[in-house]
Amino acid sequence: MSESPYYLGIDWGGTRIKLGAVTPDAHFLAQDLFESPVNSPIDSVVDGLLNQTARLIANIGHAPLGIGLGLTGPVDPNLGVVLLPGKVKGLEKYPVVPRFIERFGVPVRAANDGTLSMIAEKCAGKAKDADWAVSVTIGTGVGSGVMLEGRILHDPRFMFGTQLGHLVINTANDQLCLTGARGTAEMSCSATALALAVRSGLQRGIPSLLTEQYFTDAHAIDFQTVIEQGVAQNDPLCIDELRRWTGNLGWLLVNAVHAYSPEIIILSGGATLASAYFLDELQEHVNRHIFRYPPGVGVPIVISDIAEHAGVLGASMMMKTQLENPTHSIK
């Protein structure tokens, strides 16, 4: 393979871990995918990831300049996840960064996956020409990243800009979030939230095209099913719940505008595959409710075109920035 210098980015998701070798000008040399074992000891999962990483490096033929890790929750760049109750068993406070340094002997740094998504959008996505931006990932949960004046900042608690999903936006929703709060964005406008809302309606006997499927296998009613077999077929229950879900997401983005004053909002994650069914209504909601100068000027909401690769790309570009400007915030 080419002797081109590269950074290795790793995006650790809930069920899959993506790896990619990325050149300094943000082009991929190689990619790989590691299925994260379910209910396995964390040592075993990390061992498997280290071995998968070693194989990718061996295939390339030379070591990376550095390795960036994208993780969920508050992330200490020199250790790993420091607060993640219940999401990935054993990962909280696990020294994943030191283990990578020990194995590969190159600089390694970790960051929140929402932050890395914002870095990726700035380097190669919809925020290339922006200085003020918010990225929101809508999937199993809700992740976020924020850029102010062209910089992605760090705070001593490792949480700046990543916590939109934990804002309380709907106190009428009594579902408990892992934060201990009720009515958070994750409980109201994640892809999971829409699926659970439709399941609730089906359980209560609301007529729907999905009724028979629900009582055969309730877990089959996921976000994709709600959209493709419900909304696309004009199912009243699914359409009603999508409208309510869109309103909840709209309020979250209104809060994001008031908190961070972005010039653009970039959406990614599995839910955006259904954006044709909700993006126009979402944009109208946000433009109607934001308090912003100059009056009447909305904030464009766009769909990421690099979402599938944002975590790996962002982790790689984070390492590039860190090695080139070790005393500066990401720019």
Phi-psi category of residue 314: left, alpha or beta, with phi > 0 → left and psi -120 to 50 → alpha: alpha
Residue 327's pLDDT is 63
128-305 CATH:
3.30.420.40
pLDDT digits (tens, 9 = 90+) for 195-254: 999 999 999 999 999 999 999 999 999 999 999 999 999 999 999 999 999 999 999 999
Residue 39's pLDDT is 79
Are the folds of 7-118+308-324 and 128-305 the same?
Answer: yes
Q: Domain ranges for the chain, please list them.
A: 7-118+308-324, 128-305
Q: Give the helix/strand (H/E) hosting 221.
A: none
pLDDT digits (tens, 9 = 90+) for 252-270: 999 999 999 999 999 999 8
Q: Could you tell me the fold of the domain covering 7-118+308-324?
A: Nucleotidyltransferase; domain 5 (3.30.420)
Residue 160's pLDDT is 92
Residue 23's pLDDT is 96
- Look at the block and give the residue holding tokens 């990376």: 64
pTM: 0.92
Residue 146's pLDDT is 97
Using 70 as the pLDDT threshold, list the residues of the chain that sit under it.
1-2, 14, 86, 327-331
Q: How far is Cα 4 from Cα 24, in angstroms, rounded to an integer?
A: 9
Strands (DSSP E) contained in 84-163 are 108-112, 133-138, 142-147
